[in-house]
A and B are shown apart, each in its own frame.
Chain A
Amino acid sequence: MAYIPIADQPSELHDPHSFITKYVWSQDHKVIAIQYACTAIFVGLIALVLSGMMRLQLGYPDTFSFIDPSNYYQFVTMHGMIMVIYLLTALFLGGFGNYLIPLQIGARDMVFPYLNMLSYWFYLLSVLILLASFFVVGGPTGAGWTLYPPQAILRGTPGADMGIVLMLVSLAVFIVAFTMGGLNYVTTVLQARTHGMTLMRMPLSVWGIFVATILGLFAFPALFVSAVMMAFDKLIGTSFFMPAIQSLGQDLGYAGGSPILFQHLFWFFGHPEVYIVALPAFGLVSDVLSTHARKNIFGYRMMVWAIVIIGALSFIVWAHHMYVSGMNPYFGFFFAFTTLIIAVPTAIKVYNWVLTLWQGNIRLTVPMLFAMGFIFTFIHGGLTGIFLGNVTVDLPLSDTYFVVAHFHMVMGVSPIMVLFAAIYHWFPKISGKMFNVTLGKIHFWATFLGTYAIYLPMHYLGFLGVPRRYYALGNTDFIPDSAMALNANITQAAIFVGIMQLVFIINIIWSLKSGPKAESNPWDATSLEWQTPDTPPVHGNWGPKLPVVYRWAYEYAVPGVKDDFVPQSVPPEEVEMEEGAGKYVDRSEEHH
């Protein structure tokens, strides 16, 4: 068996000696995970501040002199790009992927630790290039996060000089970083599982991360191709995407290019990207829900299949982002059809989460609150997705705040809820400290109710026809004063939610410094990462011997068993039973 030697060769481990090799140039997957997570959260906070600035302008137009139209579009662009790529993708896959894959499959590390380290440093480089664009002449690009040509590289769009170039370079570097990390995650899952860890015994977190990584590997090249060709259009004057354009009576020298071609390439990446973020979230939240409901995940196999099917379908729906680009109606029909089909496996997942809760022994811990909050926000965002998946409904709504509300609920708030659930859930294992529960609950209620206060009214604004992307609405007949008042309220809610994230930061810092020591398995969880000999796990994770896996990761509340859970690594004969309950038998035999 090829995978065991890789996973269990303590002699090959690169034990770090100095501070530098241990924490800076580290090849340990746990340290790299934390580096990824801290960097991602740092840029995420910048993007949060940018969204606050946008909201100030929208809620109180003509009030803040430091926000002009150029700034506004730069904030919009950088907020979107940072949140989608540099925060969510990096934190789910670089952060949780790195931390959880080896620990949950029973490996000592990733199979290519050096490549893993390079992946982080390339990611950091891409972030630095991105942030550098704030300090160049003209500032960062304001082309919108989709960077549509021709406007993205034309004068008149903010950051058309250096900003857009730095953005394209940063994306290319990010893709290189992701590919190095992604090859690692996929290979590790396929090759480094410990004895007994079959694919269908892996926790759903690993399944979600695994399939999302494959999506990323095959979707990011599309972004790479479009970034390279756009950079040529900008820097050398090719006409891949640029049609003939005159600016102020002057011919710009472009001819014949196709902006629609860019849109196809961009969304061939862009739609799988939604699932690159969503699938790890689906996986992580499944594990959190099952653990804190003390019940096995409902329909494990169906959950795995749904992840795989959603992943496959995500490659044939991209043009639903382009209904308004003037496409052939049959083309639109096809993409509406595939888009709505995705609702089936997605709905299966939602039903299974709810059924996991049903008759569970729910413990309303902080991670559980966030996980249950996710079910609400995701159903909400998913339902509006069905509206927008239909061409005829999408056309009038496409340029309104309805779309902003939809995608923020479904791929902004929902993944963020899961991220918080996951951070609170694994924090005791990662840090060895417990967080403050009261602060955690305050953080949850403020975030959950606050985001609803932000996005629920936006649906209404969308139905009124309030256009998105506008710096200021001015005096427009069809927009009533009440809509302006609503905008001010949304801004207040947004600022409130933004500030309340400080509670989270304070909680984390306080807990790291003086939180109570965490037990090794505070949530009574079954999966392998909670069974490590040390908390936090040391280099090599498992001590001298790798764990052996005897069952799936969802053996909760088994009748007759003394504890209400059986870890994956406990042999059947060592399971402690209640008096008079007889020998431990698994569920299937019980039914026969």
Chain B
Amino acid sequence: MNLYRILTEKPWQHNRLNDAGLADDAVLSLASSPQKIALMFFLGVVAVLFALFITAYVIRMELDDWRPMPESGLLWFNTLLLFLSSIVLQWTRNSLKKGLDRKLKTGLLIGALLTIGFIFGQLEVWRQMAGEGYYLYNNPANSFFYVLTGIHGLHILGGLWVWTRASFRVWSGTDPEEVRLSVELCAVYWHFLLLVWLVLFALISYT
């Protein structure tokens, strides 16, 4: 992809014609399928969303009524679960590439179980925090903690919904070749949400 070449093209001249009388197809080939391009843009949107939340967090933190929350050890365990689920999905994706279809169902299942474990782990952290009297509205640090983990969790749930659709096709016996793209997109999305979580986790722990 050569953006400069594309943007300096002179469409009123026909001097780059090939034999068929057509211009070179200087298409912007970011990815091989529309689904991948759409996912890239979607990840961009989600990245902006979290970047704005984080900016708001940092600005709000500077104000003097900020009282940091205690850190729950469970968050480390949850992080491990999400990390493993990301690895398992990557492993599934790789084995599909190599044509090892048998591992597909196992990989999808383990990945989902780990992810669901993460969700329940996060809910447990919420319960712990609320049990110790750290409610959503006590302090801006608490508010941000619940909102950030909540929004992140919702994105994970969205991923699980796509996972469910892909799995439904796998279990109904669709040709693994046809679900390869879905698995690939899921894996990328999981990595991305892991990355977002690591940033959020660092932010929450550091402050």
Contacts and interface: CB of A to CB of B under 8 A. Distances in A.
Nearest to B135: A236
Nearest to A572: B21
Contact of A221 (B24, B26, B28, B52): B52
A402 B3 CA distance: 42
Given A200-B6, A201-B11, A586-B14, A179 B45 contact: yes
A2 B25 CA distance: 11
B24 to A, nearest CB: 8
Contacts of A236: 136-137
Given A192-B34, A237-B137, A304-B7, A218 B22 contact: no
B53 interface: yes
A565 to B, nearest CB: 14
A379 interface: no
Interface stretch (A224-232, A353-361, A388-396, A489-497): A224-232
Report the contact-size class of chain B (Cβ under 8 Å from the partner).
Answer: 35 or more
Nearest to B140: A239
A218 B22 CA distance: 35
A196 B143 contact: no
B117 to A, nearest CB: 26
Interface in B46-75: 48-49, 52-53, 56, 59-60, 63-66
A111 B31 CA distance: 14
Contacts of B30: 190
A256 B48 contact: no
B27 interface: yes
A255 B65 CA distance: 8
Contacts of A573: 21
Contacts, number: 157
Interface string A230-244: 001000111110000
Contacts of A228: 147, 151
Given A199-B26, A228-B147, A232-B143, A218 B14 contact: no
A587 B14 CA distance: 9
Given A183-B41, A190-B28, A587 B34 contact: no
A535 to B, nearest CB: 26
B75 to A, nearest CB: 21
Nearest to B3: A199
B136 A198 contact: no
Nearest to B16: A198
A211 to B, nearest CB: 12
Interface stretch (A76-84, A96-104, A320-328, A548-556): A548-556
B172 interface: no
A238 B147 CA distance: 11
A305 interface: yes
A191 interface: yes
Interface in A260-313: 261, 264-265, 268, 296, 300-301, 304-305, 308
Given A190-B30, A255-B65, A586 B12 contact: yes
Contacts of B42: 179, 183
Interface string B103-147: 000000000000000000000000000000000110010010001
A564 B7 CA distance: 28
5 contacts: A3-B27, A182-B41, A257-B140, A265-B52, A588-B13
Interface of B: 6-15, 21-30, 32-34, 37-38, 41-42, 44-45, 48-49, 52-53, 56, 59-60, 63-66, 136-137, 140, 143, 147, 151
Given A186-B38, A198-B25, A301-B11, 19 more contacts: A2-B33, A111-B38, A179-B45, A183-B38, A191-B37, A195-B22, A196-B22, A198-B6, A199-B9, A218-B48, A221-B45, A229-B56, A240-B140, A256-B64, A304-B7, A308-B7, A554-B12, A587-B13, A588-B15
